[in-house]
């Protein structure tokens, strides 16, 4: 029944055909069970494991690598190669792809856990009326039409419509669903609001929420998937994970690279068609296969096989650094996404605030000797921990607050006129509430005021264990005053009273809405001497003024406290007793903002990141919090910047677009609004981070580019998120963004390093093929260079120190290419030099080396006709392993020098020396040791078709390799001094696509 909130109690009962005094019959239960289903969230269809595995290979670069591996293997078999050499290259490629697929499968499996966690919020049991008798049944057996009784501490087992109030009031904590900072009072009246959100449905009890005060009966109107919790589940199922900006850029670059590789491979094959019939090949077909093998080697050289592994490793290193900042990363790509975040949609309750009601202001009457003199006190401490101090209106801390009469009686009333509990949880290491949050705030206030008569009181309390300290002062007052009778809170009176006995004296303490309490007061307790004086119109007006200031300007939730001396021996209370009260004081409380949030907001603005506060609370309360945390510091007028969800939805399309660009606060939201907001911002090409802690936040957390859950939040929110803040601190997000930006900068550096190195390998093979000289490098040698000598320094580049101004720059655009324009030109130049130096080393050995044959260049170009001609040298010289060893070593050494070039994008090595990144120095040393190992250890040198080198050959290798440093220093100089240099290559058209089109592709 979808509109039960708008129907009367009798209409709802009639709809289900149930008698509220007897409940459903067994026949009706079975009938409704068949009609509506079970009260469980249905298990979603899991993606088959084999589909998850195959999904990881649905990538163009990966497909090319697989094809290259298979072709390499087939060509090896055609050429009669057997053993390890035939299988090495394809095996290594497939191993890398398998490792990356495993990471992807694990990530996707974790994402499905969020839906499982939702079931934890379903109640286990329910007190149900059936066949005229109450019984306790498993909550899964509930059906629509069941009459259920709920009381304090009960978890609501299904969506239910209130039908009968069994106490003065019923209050429910539904923060996990709506994000409201305080509990909600429920009633029986039908709701007439149009487009009613959860907060408007005050007669509905939502599945998974908790009763914090009162007792009532309700009729079940929705079970399983047809509950508020079920709608969250459906929303999460409809949400597809977004590809991260880095993943999109790598995919685009992969597409571009694949086309270039295919073009070059075909070109090399076509250029050599004339050589297919050379006698050395033994026929046209074998010649075609030989040059096809060269084309495949070119593809292997061009594809950065180690790129996926290095990206994963660098992001993993970033997660460790972020963990030290209390940001626990659940999804590796989200590390990089933080760097380009443009909007943070932050939940208010529990994220910007502590989600712990706390008394922040106290107002009492000091004296009236020279006219009404009202005193205000401030209270520090923003959590349920009994840690904080009382300050006077000049900001001076009170050493012994309990010595002041009004504060002493406020502490008494707070402790006694109270139904809540405060306790210390040693497992979580924090203080927890049981009951109404406003009442717990009063218990904490009593602890902060302390006890009278002990000069050593503050230090004595600090010596207690945390368990004893939680309610030490409250227990003291409860032992001093024995509770005799209680008048519960009711909506019409808006107050609660308790009768206590103390040393043969009966005292009634009352608390409630200020307008109710003050109107019933005839006397006031003075704070200067403890005297009681009659209240007059002037004093009453002054108290009303302070109350309006607390509730209006400061948006505090206010309670007034009062007492009354009762006749000796009275044992019960009646509503008539709640008159002629003595006013004690006024307390103002709020869900306080976290202390670090204001500075974090300033950092966001400096970094060009917009913060939108999203909350289920009412508008005035949220605006007050936004003022305190600095979210409105840049605004003169809130109009156009602060909206309720209903106001925003009513705007025409064009105005909604404008509102999204200016919005700083969205209030009275429910889960669907949060998801809608994320989608709307993403359609405007914003990179959205969404923070939250409740079940209600899960769909939006999953939909956002990066979902950030609070460490103290619900398991559902954590499972749906990409990152969890262990300390629940919004300021940690800013530190994480800085880290994300640094990681992206380093990621760009090692990607450019690997690309420039691979360009070198492509140039090497292409030039050799065009010149008609023997194969410069064997495929297995290329693979060694790509995986080992490229991989280690590339990973170490991830340890480059972040720039000092990393949080002063605006967020990078999602369309920004990883390698583009002038930078691409730079790395083409570097890559060209790497390739030419490698070919030069190969040619040098044949023509100039003392240990080489010293052939004329023309002989080298005509090597393939050697068997058909008379020569002064044996044709076996072209099978010598020295030239390819020299070429491979030049390639390795020049890439080590190129790694040093990537310590910074534009800064000279004279400014940022190699030792600024000792990890890079160590990786270069380790890479060279590994390379020397394969040169000088016989089994390895045979496997990689290399041999040992002489000192003279090493000297030439260094001469050929070092100039790459000089070339890049010149290019960096132009980068620093010629900002206008731009080269627009055709592949950048991919980056011109708007984000939505990319998403739809």
Residue 652: burial class (beta carbons within 10 Å; 0-12, 13-18, 19+)? exposed
Long-range Cβ pairs for the range 44-49 (8 Å, 24+):
44/112, 44/115, 44/233, 44/237, 46/112, 47/108, 47/112, 49/105
d(CA 82, CA 79): 9
In a domain, 145, yes or no: no
Q: Would you state the structure tokens that stand for residue 66, as one six-digit string?
A: 């697989």
- Strand 327-329 relative to strand 723-725: parallel, antiparallel, unpaired? antiparallel
Q: How much of the chain, in percent, has pLDDT values that exceed 70?
A: 80
- C-beta of residue 158 within 8 angstroms of C-beta of residue 735: no
Residues 744, 680: one domain? Answer: no
Give the DSSP letter string of 908-951: -TTTS-GGG-HHHHHHHHHHHHHHHHHHHSHHHHHHTT-----H
d(CA 233, CA 235): 5
d(CA 337, CA 349): 25
Q: Between 25 and 103, where is the model more confident? A: 25
- Strand 147-151 relative to strand 210-222: parallel, antiparallel, unpaired? antiparallel
How many CB atoms are closer than 10 A to CB 529? 10
Residues 745, 696: one domain? Answer: no
d(CA 747, CA 245): 13
Query: Among the residues of 607-662, which ranges form H helices?
Result: 619-629, 645-650, 653-662
pLDDT in tens, 846-872: 888 888 788 888 877 777 677 677 777
In a domain, 153, yes or no: no
Residue 928: burial class (beta carbons within 10 Å; 0-12, 13-18, 19+)? middle
Residues 547, 629: one domain? Answer: no
| Arithmetic mean of pLDDT, 476-503 | 90
From residue 992, alpha-carbon distances to 72, 400, 611, 817 in Å are 37, 68, 26, 10
Supply the pLDDT for residue 992: 29
Residues 310, 332: one domain? Answer: no
Query: Among the residues of 423-527, which ranges form H helices?
Result: 437-449, 457-462, 466-469, 472-480, 514-520
- C-beta of residue 822 within 8 angstroms of C-beta of residue 982: yes
In a domain, 985, yes or no: no
- C-beta of residue 967 within 8 angstroms of C-beta of residue 902: no
Residues 336, 395: one domain? Answer: no
Q: Which one, of 66, 100, 97, 62, lies nearest residue 313 by Cα? A: 100
Tell me the pLDDT band of 803, cut-offs 50, 70 and 90: low
In a domain, 682, yes or no: yes
Give the chain's domain count. Answer: 3
Residue 982 has pLDDT above 50, yes or no: no
Supply the pLDDT for residue 990: 33
Residue 238 has pLDDT above 70, yes or no: no
Domain range holding 395? 358-561
Q: Would you state the structure tokens that stand for residue 215, as one six-digit string?
A: 């007792």
Residues 768, 710: one domain? Answer: no
- C-beta of residue 646 within 8 angstroms of C-beta of residue 197: yes
Supply the pLDDT for residue 993: 28
Q: Which residues of 454-491 are buried (b: 16+ CB within 10 A; e: fewer)?
A: eeebeeebeeeeeeebbbbbbebbeeebeebbebbbee
- C-beta of residue 303 within 8 angstroms of C-beta of residue 758: yes
Residues 337, 417: one domain? Answer: no
d(CA 443, CA 438): 9
**Mean pLDDT computed over every residue of the chain:** 80
Supply the pLDDT for residue 594: 80
Last residue of a domain, one of 701, 728, 755: 728
Location of structure tokens 């368990």:
467
d(CA 463, CA 4): 55
Residue 429, sorted as left (phi over 0), alpha (psi -120 to 50) or beta, turns out to be left
- C-beta of residue 319 within 8 angstroms of C-beta of residue 759: no
- Of 547-556, 570-579, 851-860, give the range with the top mean pLDDT: 570-579
Residue 497 has pLDDT above 90, yes or no: yes
Query: Among the residues of 684-729, which ranges form H helices?
Result: 698-703, 715-720
- What is the chain's Cα-based Rg? 37
Q: Which one, of 107, 154, 224, 120, lies nearest residue 713 by Cα? A: 120
pLDDT in tens, 925-970: 999 999 999 888 888 887 777 888 888 899 999 999 999 999 989 9
Q: Would you state the structure tokens that stand for residue 423, as one six-digit string?
A: 């306790």
Phi, psi of 385 (to 5 degrees): -70, 135
- C-beta of residue 22 within 8 angstroms of C-beta of residue 207: no
d(CA 721, CA 701): 6
| Arithmetic mean of pLDDT, 215-229 | 88
Residues 366, 278: one domain? Answer: no
From residue 436, alpha-carbon distances to 175, 211, 858 in Å are 13, 9, 93
d(CA 356, CA 608): 31
- C-beta of residue 352 within 8 angstroms of C-beta of residue 334: no
Q: Would you state the structure tokens that stand for residue 732, as one six-digit string?
A: 């940690």
In a domain, 37, yes or no: no
From residue 463, alpha-carbon distances to 423, 428, 453, 457, 467 in Å are 17, 21, 18, 10, 11
H/E element, 37: none
Q: Would you state the structure tokens that stand for residue 4, as one six-digit string?
A: 């039960």
From residue 710, alpha-carbon distances to 346, 427, 690, 718, 929 in Å are 11, 18, 11, 7, 46
- C-beta of residue 510 within 8 angstroms of C-beta of residue 561: yes
Residue 308 has pLDDT above 50, yes or no: yes
Residue 311 has pLDDT above 80, yes or no: no
From residue 643, alpha-carbon distances to 357, 617, 976 in Å are 24, 12, 46
The torsion angle over the Cα atoms of residues 964, 970, 972 and 974, rounded to 10 degrees, is -150
In a domain, 226, yes or no: no
Within 13 Å and on the Cβ side, how many CA atoms surround 211?
Answer: 26
| Arithmetic mean of pLDDT, 368-382 | 86
- Of 90-94, 650-654, 878-882, give the range with the top mean pLDDT: 650-654
- Three-state SS string across 815-845, please? CCCCCCHHHHHHHHHHHHHHHHHHHHHHHHH
- Of 235-249, 695-709, 909-923, give the range with the top mean pLDDT: 909-923
- C-beta of residue 587 within 8 angstroms of C-beta of residue 442: yes
Residues 748, 856: one domain? Answer: yes
**103-112, 284-293, 543-552, 592-601: the lowest-pLDDT one:** 103-112
In a domain, 126, yes or no: no
d(CA 533, CA 936): 102
- C-beta of residue 312 within 8 angstroms of C-beta of residue 92: no
Last residue of a domain, one of 728, 748, 769: 728
Tell me the pLDDT band of 179, cut-offs 50, 70 and 90: low
d(CA 802, CA 339): 12
| Arithmetic mean of pLDDT, 798-817 | 72
Residue 432: CATH number of its domain: 3.40.1110.10
Tell me the pLDDT band of 701, cut-offs 50, 70 and 90: confident
Q: Which DSSP letter does residue 563 get? A: E
H/E element, 570: none
Q: Which one, of 200, 210, 219, lies nearest residue 159 by Cα? A: 219
- C-beta of residue 731 within 8 angstroms of C-beta of residue 600: yes
d(CA 518, CA 122): 42
pLDDT in tens, 266-276: 877 787 777 67
Supply the pLDDT for residue 501: 93
Looking at the annotation, which residues are catalytic? Answer: 347
In a domain, 826, yes or no: yes
Positive or negative, the Cα torsion across 593, 596, 598, 600? Answer: negative
Residues 386, 461: one domain? Answer: yes
- C-beta of residue 914 within 8 angstroms of C-beta of residue 921: yes
Last residue of a domain, one of 518, 542, 561: 561
Phi, psi of 698 (to 5 degrees): -55, -50
Note if the pTM is more than 0.75: no
pLDDT in tens, 596-637: 888 888 888 888 889 999 988 878 878 888 888 888 877 777
- C-beta of residue 375 within 8 angstroms of C-beta of residue 423: no
Residues 756, 681: one domain? Answer: no
Residue 797: CATH number of its domain: 1.20.1110.10
Residues 507, 614: one domain? Answer: no
């Amino acid at each position: 029944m979808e509109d039960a909130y708008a129907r009367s109690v009798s209409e709802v009962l009639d709809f289900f055909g149930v008698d509220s005094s007897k409940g459903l019959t067994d026949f009706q239960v079975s009938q409704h069970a068949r009609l509506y289903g079970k009260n469980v969230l249905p298990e979603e269809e899991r993606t088959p494991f084999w589909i998850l595995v195959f999904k990881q290979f649905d990538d163009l670069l990966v497909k090319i690598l697989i094809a290259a591996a298979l072709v390499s293997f087939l060509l090896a078999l055609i050429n009669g190669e057997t053993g390890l050499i035939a299988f090495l290259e394809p095996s290594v490629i497939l191993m890398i792809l398998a490792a990356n697929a495993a990471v992807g499968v694990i990530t996707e499996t974790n994402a499905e856990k969020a839906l499982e966690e939702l079931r934890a919020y379903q109640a286990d049991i329910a007190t149900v009326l059936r066949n005229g008798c109450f019984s306790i049944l498993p909550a899964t057996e509930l059906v629509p039409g069941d009459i259920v009784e709920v009381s304090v501490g009960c978890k609501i087992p299904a969506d239910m419509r209130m039908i009968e109030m069994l106490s003065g009031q019923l209050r429910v904590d539904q923060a996990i669903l709506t994000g409201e900072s305080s509990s909600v009072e429920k009633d029986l009246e039908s709701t007439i609001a149009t487009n009613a959100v959860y907060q408007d449905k005050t007669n509905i009890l939502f599945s998974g929420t908790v009763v914090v005060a009162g007792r009532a009966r309700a009729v079940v109107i929705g079970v399983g998937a047809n509950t508020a919790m079920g709608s969250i589940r459906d929303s999460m199922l409809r949400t597809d994970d977004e590809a991260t900006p880095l993943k999109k850029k790598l995919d685009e670059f992969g597409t571009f690279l694949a086309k270039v590789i295919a073009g070059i491979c075909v070109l090399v094959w076509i250029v050599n068609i004339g050589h297919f019939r050379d006698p050395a090949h033994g026929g046209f077909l074998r010649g075609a296969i030989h040059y096809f093998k060269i084309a495949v080697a070119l593809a292997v050289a061009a594809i950065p096989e180690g790129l996926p592994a290095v990206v994963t490793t660098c992001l993993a290193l970033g997660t460790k650094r972020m963990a030290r900042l209390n940001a626990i990363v659940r999804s590796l790509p989200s590390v990089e996404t933080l760097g380009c975040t443009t909007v943070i949609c932050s939940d208010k309750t529990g994220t910007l605030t502590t989600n712990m009601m706390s008394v922040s202001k106290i107002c009492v009457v000091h004296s009236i000797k020279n006219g009404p003199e009202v005193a205000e006190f401030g209270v520090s401490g923003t959590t349920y921990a009994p840690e904080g101090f009382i300050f006077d209106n000049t900001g001076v801390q009170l050493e012994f607050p309990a010595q002041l009469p009004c504060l002493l009686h406020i502490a008494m009333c707070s402790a006694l006129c109270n139904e809540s509990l405060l306790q210390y949880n040693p497992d979580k290491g924090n203080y927890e509430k049981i009951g109404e949050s406003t009442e717990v705030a009063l218990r904490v206030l009593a602890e902060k005021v302390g006890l009278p008569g002990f000069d050593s009181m503050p230090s004595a309390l600090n010596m207690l264990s945390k368990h004893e300290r939680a309610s030490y002062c409250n227990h003291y007052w409860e032992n001093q005053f024995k509770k005799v009778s209680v008048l519960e809170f009711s909506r019409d009176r808006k107050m609660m009273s308790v009768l206590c006995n103390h040393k043969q004296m009966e005292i009634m303490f009352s608390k409630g809405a200020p307008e109710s309490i003050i109107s019933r007061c005839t006397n006031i307790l003075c704070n200067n001497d403890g005297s009681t004086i009659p209240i007059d119109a002037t004093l009453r007006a002054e108290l009303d003024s302070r109350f309006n200031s607390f509730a209006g300007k400061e948006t505090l939730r206010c309670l007034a406290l009062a007492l009354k001396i009762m006749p000796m021996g009275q044992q019960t209370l009646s509503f008539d007793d709640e008159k002629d009260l003595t006013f004690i004081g006024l307390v103002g409380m709020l869900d306080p903002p976290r202390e670090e949030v204001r500075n974090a907001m300033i950092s966001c603005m400096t970094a060009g990141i917009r913060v939108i506060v999203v909350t289920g609370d009412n508008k005035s309360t949220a605006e007050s919090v936004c003022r305190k945390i600095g979210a409105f510091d840049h605004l003169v007028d809130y109009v156009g910047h602060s909206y309720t969800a209903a106001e925003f939805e009513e705007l025409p399309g064009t105005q909604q677009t404008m509102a999204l660009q200016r919005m700083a606060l969205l209030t009275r939201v429910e889960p669907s609004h949060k998801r809608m907001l994320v989608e709307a911002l993403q359609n405007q090409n914003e990179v959205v981070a969404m923070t939250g802690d409740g079940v209600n936040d899960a769909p939006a957390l999953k939909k956002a580019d990066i979902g950030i859950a609070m460490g103290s939040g619900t398991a559902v929110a954590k499972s749906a998120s990409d990152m969890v803040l262990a300390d629940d601190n919004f300021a940690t997000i800013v530190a994480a963004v800085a880290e994300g930006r640094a990681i992206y900068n380093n990621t760009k550096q090692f990607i450019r390093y690997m690309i420039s190195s691979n360009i070198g390998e492509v140039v090497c093979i292409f030039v050799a093929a065009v010149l008609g000289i023997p194969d410069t490098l064997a495929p297995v040698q290329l693979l060694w260079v790509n995986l080992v000598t490229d991989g280690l320094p590339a990973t170490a580049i991830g340890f480059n120190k972040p720039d000092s101004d990393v949080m002063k720059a605006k967020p990078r655009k999602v369309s920004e290419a990883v390698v583009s324009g002038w930078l691409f030109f730079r790395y083409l130049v570097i890559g060209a030099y790497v390739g030419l130096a490698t070919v030069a080393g190969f040619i040098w050995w044949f023509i100039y080396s003392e240990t080489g044959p010293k052939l004329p260049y023309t002989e080298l170009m005509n090597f393939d006709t050697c068997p058909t001609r008379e020569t002064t040298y044996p044709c076996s010289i072209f099978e010598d392993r020295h030239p390819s060893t020299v070429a491979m070593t030049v390639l390795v050494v020049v890439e080590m020098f190129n790694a040093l070039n990537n310590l910074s994008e534009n800064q000279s090595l004279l400014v940022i020396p190699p030792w600024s990144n000792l990890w890079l120095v160590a990786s270069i040393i380790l890479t060279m040791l590994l390379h020397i190992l394969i040169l000088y250890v016989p089994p390895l040198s045979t496997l990689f078709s290399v041999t040992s080198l002489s000192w003279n050959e090493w000297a030439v290798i260094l001469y050929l390799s070092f100039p790459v440093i000089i070339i890049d220093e010149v290019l960096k100089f132009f980068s620093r001094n010629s900002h206008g240099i731009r080269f627009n290559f055709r592949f950048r058209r991919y980056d011109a696509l708007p984000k939505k089109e990319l998403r739809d592709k």
